[in-house]
């Protein structure tokens, strides 16, 4: 379970990205976070794995105070949380399976990591992860020969190889065409349903958020202005979330 209690985040330049956030996210939820660019969506999910530190308040994951973690304990904690980015973050000049195998590198002895030596069990786990996202047949293809959607699936397989309890996704389909975006969202939905992994997606596509997520959190200017079932999001809710855009164009 993820709990935000009166969480604030202020950057060194004085910008307040998060303001008094109170949220509880249970294990196995599929949550979409929506709002304008700059509203605080990315900051919110990146505080969960300490990519960004909160300024004050309390943020706990399964009872662990995230801000109390340092060094080895922080690295171990992050192993439980997968992260998917818009830009895929693959080594494009090597094969798909080698990209997935990098999920094991943080736990390897330095000499195995340096030489790229992986056990049969690790290779099997990498292939199983690729199978779960439907691209097992691409295992020995160079990553730069794949489409954008296939590359995002490789990134998702790499995350699954970590055996995470939580997956954070920061605009994972923003650079994909509508058909491919839907295919990737199908993968997230299936993983959430079948593996009961908690998924939090920061997403600009409101239609996809409402179609796939079971819960929607709307953020405006660093504050939560909606938190509820996706099926209850209506025009009034969207007006509240995107009010700043309406005012700018009025």
40: alpha, beta or left? (left if phi > 0; alpha if psi -120 to 50): left
Q: What percent of the chain has pLDDT above 90? A: 81
Closest CA to 33 of 152, 155, 169: 169
Q: How many CA atoms lie within 13 A of 22 on its CB side?
A: 2
Residue count of the chain: 250
Q: What percent of the chain has pLDDT above 70? A: 97
Structure tokens at 101: 């195998």
Closest CA to 48 of 14, 79, 78: 78
149-175 pLDDT per residue, tens: 999 999 999 999 999 999 999 999 998
Instruction: Please tell me what DSSP assigns to residue 27.
Output: T
- State the DSSP string of 144-190: GGS-HHHHHHHHHHHHHHT--SEEEEESTTTTS-HHHHHHHHHHHHH
pTM of this prediction exceeds 0.85: yes
Q: Is residue 222's pLDDT more than 60?
A: yes
Distances (CA, A) of 128 to 45, 99, 101, 103, 113: 27, 14, 11, 13, 21
Indicate the Cα dihedral angle 121, 123, 126, 131, nearest 10°.
-100
User: For the chain, which residues make up each domain, given as ranges?
Assistant: 1-80+166-250, 87-163
Q: What is the average pLDDT across 93-102? A: 93
Give the list of residues 6+ apart from residue 216 with CB closer than 8 angstroms, or none.
31, 32, 33, 34, 209, 210, 226, 227, 228, 229, 230, 233
Q: What is the average pLDDT across 92-97? A: 92
**Which is it for the CA torsion 86, 90, 92, 97, positive or negative?**
negative
What pLDDT does residue 245 have? 60
What pLDDT does residue 67 have? 94
- State the DSSP string of 38-92: TSSHHHHHHHHTTSS--SEEEEEETTEEGGG--HHHHHHHHHTEEEEETT----T
Q: What's phi and psi for 37, nearest 5 deg? A: -60, 135
Q: Is residue 131's pLDDT more than 90?
A: yes
Determine how β-strand 64-65 pairs with β-strand 56-61.
antiparallel
DSSP SS3 for 124: helix
**Looking at 34-43, 72-81, 239-248, which range is the least confident one?**
239-248
Instruction: Please tell me what DSSP assigns to residue 14.
Output: S
- Name the band, by pLDDT with cuts 50, 70 and 90, for residue 250: very low
CATH class of 1-80+166-250: alpha beta
């Amino acid at each position: 379970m993820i709990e935000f209690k009166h969480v604030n985040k202020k950057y060194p330049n004085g910008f307040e990205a998060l303001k008094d956030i109170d949220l509880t996210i249970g294990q196995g939820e599929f949550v979409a976070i929506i709002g304008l660019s700059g509203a605080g969506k990315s900051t919110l999910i990146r505080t969960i794995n300490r990519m960004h530190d909160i300024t004050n308040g309390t943020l706990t994951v399964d009872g662990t105070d995230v801000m109390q973690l340092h060094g080895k304990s922080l690295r171990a904690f992050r192993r439980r949380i997968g992260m998917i980015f818009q830009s895929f973050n693959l080594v494009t000049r090597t094969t798909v399976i080698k990209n997935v195998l990098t999920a094991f590198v943080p736990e390897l002895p330095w000499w195995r990591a340096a030489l790229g030596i992986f056990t049969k069990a690790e290779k099997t786990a990498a292939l199983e992860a690729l199978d779960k996202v439907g691209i097992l047949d691409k295992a020995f293809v160079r990553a730069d020969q794949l489409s954008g959607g296939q590359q995002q699936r490789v990134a998702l397989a790499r995350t699954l190889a970590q055996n995470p309890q939580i997956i954070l996704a920061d605009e994972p389909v923003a650079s994909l065409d509508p058909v491919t975006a839907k295919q990737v969202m199908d993968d997230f939905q299936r993983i959430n349903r079948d593996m009961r992994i908690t998924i939090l997606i920061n997403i600009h596509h409101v239609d996809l958020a409402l179609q796939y997520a079971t819960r929607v959190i709307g953020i405006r200017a660093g504050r939560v202005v909606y938190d509820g079932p996706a099926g209850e999001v209506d025009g009034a809710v969207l007006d509240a979330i995107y009010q700043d855009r309406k005012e700018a164009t009025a």
